[in-house]
Each structure stands twice: as C-alpha cells, then as structure tokens.
C-alpha cells in the first residue's frame, strides 16, 4: 500500500482541488449578499421645486427725519422783552402766546397816529365846506376859475392826507400787536434764545423755533451707482417699478420695529449733489403722536417694485466654488448634478437667481455638504414653514 501511495502522490491533491471548485459557487453569492447588506443607504436631502413668480422687492436706505415746517419765531419790532410765556421744549398750539414785549411805547405811537388822523379829517372837512361854497359862486362868475381849482385841489389834498393818516394808525396798531408774539403753527418748541429784559433789535430778533411734527419728512440719498443699477434692471425686464414711480415707504426704527404709518415719496432733487454723488429723495409720513422727532436716524424701505418671473432660492442652497456660485440639482433617477448659477440681490433670507435655473427643477436646500456629482439621493420636500417667500415681507 505504501508503494501505491508513492506511485501516485498527486491523487489526494486532485480531490482537494475538486472540493474547492465545488464550493466556489456557494461562497460568492454569500459574499455578494454581505456587500449589499453593508452598502449605506442614499443620503436624504431636502429639495424645493423652482417656481417662477412675480416677487415684490424693496430697497433700504439710511434716512433722517426732518420737520415739514420749521418756523423761526422772530420779533418784528424793536423793544424790551418782558417775559417768556411758554415752557421750553413743550408742544405749543397754533396761536399760543410765546413771548410778550413791552407794549407801552407802541400804545403811545398808536394814540399819536390816531390824533394825527383826527387832525387830517378836520382839515378834510374844512376843505369840503370850502369847495361847496366855491362851486356856486364860480358858476355865477363871482369867483374865478382859479379859485375853484384851488378849492378842488385843497379838498383832494386833504382827502389824501386822511388816507395817509389812516395808514399810520394801522401801522401803529400792527406794531402794537407784534409785541404779543404767538406761534403760527402747532409744533415742538425749542429753547428761548433771548432772556427776559433783553432789548430786542434786528440783530438779535430770533427768539426760538417751532418744529411741526405732523406730518414729518424723511430724507434719504440714492447714489449714482444705485440709480444706474436700478435703471439697468428695468431696461432688462428684471424689475418693474410702480406706476408714476410712486413708491410706498416704510420706516424701520432703531429697535427694528416697523413704524405704524406708511409714507409716500413726495419730492426728489432734480440734480445730483456734486460733493457726494447722490441725490435727495423725500417721503412724507403722518406723525400724530410725535413718535418721530426731527434729525432722527431711521431706515427707509421703499416698496412697490416687482421682480417679474423671478426665481428665489434660500441663501443656504447656494454654494460658492473656485468657478463661482452653484447649486445642486436633482435630475433623472434621483441623481444630483452641479449647476452653475448667476446670483442677483439678497431679499430677506433668499437669493434671486438671474441665470442657471428653470421652472420645475428640484434644488437641494439642505444636506448638500456630502454630495458628489452623479450620486443617487433620497429627497424630501422643503418644509412649508421654511418655504421661500420672505421677499414679500
């Protein structure tokens, strides 16, 4: 037997090889199943469909409030200032007395003017009687034509002197009334520039100022570059302005709250400022409670323009690489691809896409950090609470 084994040593090896070959078909299916079981599921991404629509847009500028009617309260006559009758910094009403000047000298002037008027009226009466006597005598040739002409001339001169004296009386009466200084408007008063007992003359006639708070103006400036960009977007059809360029204006206060009244643009400077390269725009607002005060800084938000057929995507859906901005788009068979885009302005939490996307395409909003081109993904819709639409705020 030993001799037979030495004669054919490869026979056991052949049996071993045959066993291995027999087992191979059963081993490979098991390995394949284990690999399939170990493969990770496709990543889940949040997507939103692209929908083109008209989107309201707004523009914000740093602005400053201004009184719509700032009145300098000045003395019209010279004299001593008796007393101040208002509380500095308080709201004063139209017709309210602010200052009282010493009226006694002006009362004397009025009495003198009245006396002069009475004298001229007496002279007029004498001239009238003289003319009445002269006319019949001249008709009877008892007096010459020269005597008649003189009588007529004296009467006319006396009548003119009466009118002049009446004007002097009216002037004296006005000067007396000017000693009581009232506010011509309802507004916020400033401090008194002159103290009681000061002699007021043309050099120090400014007494105080009154600023009208309702309505109030809000001024802001637009640069030449901003205006050029605005006009360019209109020319390309990317922006539609309101009719007659009448924008509605909102005010954003320092705490971020929106002022409850909406204003309108009421004035625009016809030319640019040579020093700043900007031109002024003014909006008018109701301010019945006096919340806004002159020279207060706010933000003005112009509303009324529309981006027609606009595409908006959340800012976090847009990424930037070495070749510019891009988004991930889910295509056929749930495979993702990189799509270069041209971005426009930010609007709230969204970004306008000027080029690169079409209506109906699916854009990845969340979960794009681990994506690779051609990767298969599982999708879920972008939440309704996070839907793009903040541009209409």
Separation CA 393–CA 381 (nearest Å): 23
213 and 90 Cβ atoms separated by less than 8 Å: no
317 domain-assigned: yes
pLDDT in the model for residue 160: 96
Residues 156 and 251 in one domain: no
91 domain-assigned: yes
266 domain-assigned: yes
For residue 113, give the H/E element and its range.
Answer: helix 104-139
143 and 137 Cβ atoms separated by less than 8 Å: yes
* Of 199, 210, 196, residue with least CA distance to 85: 196
* Of 62, 165, 183, residue with least CA distance to 123: 165
198 domain-assigned: yes
37 domain-assigned: no
pLDDT in the model for residue 283: 94
Residues 270 and 292 in one domain: yes
Answer with the one of 150, 185, 211 that is the final residue of a domain.
Answer: 211
* Of 287, 292, 344, residue with least CA distance to 313: 344
Q: Report phi then psi at 183, rounded to 5.
A: -90, 130
Separation CA 248–CA 263 (nearest Å): 6
pLDDT in the model for residue 39: 64
Angle at alpha carbon of residue 227, lines to 215 and 307, rounded to 5° = 90
Answer with the one of 211, 234, 253 that is the final residue of a domain.
Answer: 211
Residues 203 and 255 in one domain: no
For the record, the structure tokens of 173 come out as 């009466």
Domain of 355 in residue numbering reads as 44-55+310-392
38 domain-assigned: no
pLDDT in the model for residue 20: 47
pLDDT in the model for residue 37: 52
Answer with the one of 156, 180, 211 that is the final residue of a domain.
Answer: 211
Residues 191 and 283 in one domain: no
Q: Report phi then psi at 38, rounded to 5.
A: -85, -15
pLDDT in the model for residue 110: 96
Q: Give the CA distances from residue 164 to residues 105, 151, 219, 348, in Å, rounded to whole numbers and listed in that order.
A: 21, 20, 49, 72
Helix axes 145-177 and 104-139, enclosed angle (nearest 10)? 160
Residues 202 and 166 in one domain: yes
pTM over 0.75: no
Residues 225 and 290 in one domain: yes
DSSP H helices in the chain: 2-7, 11-38, 104-139, 145-177, 224-235
Residues 93 and 182 in one domain: yes
The structure tokens 């209109």 sit at 234
Residues 63 and 88 in one domain: no
Residues 144 and 183 in one domain: yes
**CATH number, domain at 202?**
2.40.50.100
**CATH number, domain at 293?**
2.40.30.170
Separation CA 162–CA 174 (nearest Å): 18
Residues 238 and 295 in one domain: yes
Residues 206 and 274 in one domain: no
* Burial grade of 385 (CB within 10 A; 0-12, 13-18, 19 or more): exposed
Residues 352 and 270 in one domain: no
39 domain-assigned: no
Number of domains in the chain: 4
Residue-by-residue pLDDT tens, the chain, 393 positions: 444 444 454 445 454 444 544 444 544 455 555 555 556 788 899 999 999 999 998 889 999 999 999 999 999 999 999 999 999 999 999 999 999 999 999 999 999 999 999 999 999 999 999 999 999 988 888 888 898 899 999 999 999 999 999 999 999 999 999 999 999 999 999 999 999 999 999 999 999 999 999 999 999 999 988 888 888 888 888 888 888 777 889 999 999 999 999 999 889 888 988 888 898 999 999 999 999 999 999 999 999 889 999 999 999 899 988 889 999 999 888 899 999 999 988 887 888 998 899 989 999 999 888 889 998 898 889 874 443 333 333
185 domain-assigned: yes
């Amino acid at each position: 037997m030993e001799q037979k084994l030495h004669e054919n040593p490869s026979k056991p090896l052949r049996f071993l090889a045959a066993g291995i070959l027999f087992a191979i078909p059963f081993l490979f299916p098991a390995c394949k199943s284990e690999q399939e079981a170990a493969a990770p599921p496709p990543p889940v991404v949040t997507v939103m469909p692209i929908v083109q629509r008209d989107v309201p847009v707004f523009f914000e500028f740093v602005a400053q409030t201004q009184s719509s009617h700032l009145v300098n309260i000045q003395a019209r006559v010279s004299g001593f200032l008796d007393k101040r009758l208002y509380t500095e910094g308080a709201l004063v009403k139209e017709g309210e007395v602010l200052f009282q000047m010493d009226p006694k000298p002006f009362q004397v002037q009025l009495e003198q003017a009245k006396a002069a008027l009475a004298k001229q009226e007496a002279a007029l009466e004498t001239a009238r009687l003289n003319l009445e006597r002269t006319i019949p005598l001249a008709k009877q040739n008892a007096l010459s034509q020269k005597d008649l002409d003189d009588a007529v001339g004296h009467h006319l001169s006396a009548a003119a002197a009466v009118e002049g004296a009446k004007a002097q009386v009216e002037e004296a009466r006005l000067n007396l009334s000017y000693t009581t200084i009232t506010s011509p408007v309802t507004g916020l008063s400033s401090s008194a520039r002159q103290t009681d007992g000061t002699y007021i003359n043309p050099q120090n006639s400014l007494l105080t100022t009154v600023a009208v708070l309702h309505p109030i103006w809000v001024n802001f400036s637009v640069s030449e570059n901003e205006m050029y960009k605005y006009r360019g977007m209109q020319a390309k059809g990317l922006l539609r302005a309101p009719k007659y360029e009448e924008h509605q204006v909102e005010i954003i206060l320092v705490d971020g709250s929106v002022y409850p009244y909406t204003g309108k643009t009421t004035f625009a400077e016809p030319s640019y400022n040579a020093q700043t390269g900007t031109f002024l725009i003014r909006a008018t607002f109701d301010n019945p409670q006096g919340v806004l005060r002159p020279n207060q800084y706010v933000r003005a938000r112009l509303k009324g323009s529309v981006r027609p057929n606009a595409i908006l995507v959340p800012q976090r859906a847009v990424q930037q690489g070495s070749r510019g901005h891009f988004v991930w788009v889910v295509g056929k068979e749930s495979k993702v691809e990189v799509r270069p885009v041209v971005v426009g302005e930010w609007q709230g939490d969204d970004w306008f896409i000027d080029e690169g996307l079409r209506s109906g395409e699916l854009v990845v909003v969340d979960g794009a950090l681990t994506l690779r081109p051609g990767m298969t993904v599982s999708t879920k819709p972008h939440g309704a609470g996070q839907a793009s639409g903040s541009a209409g705020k």
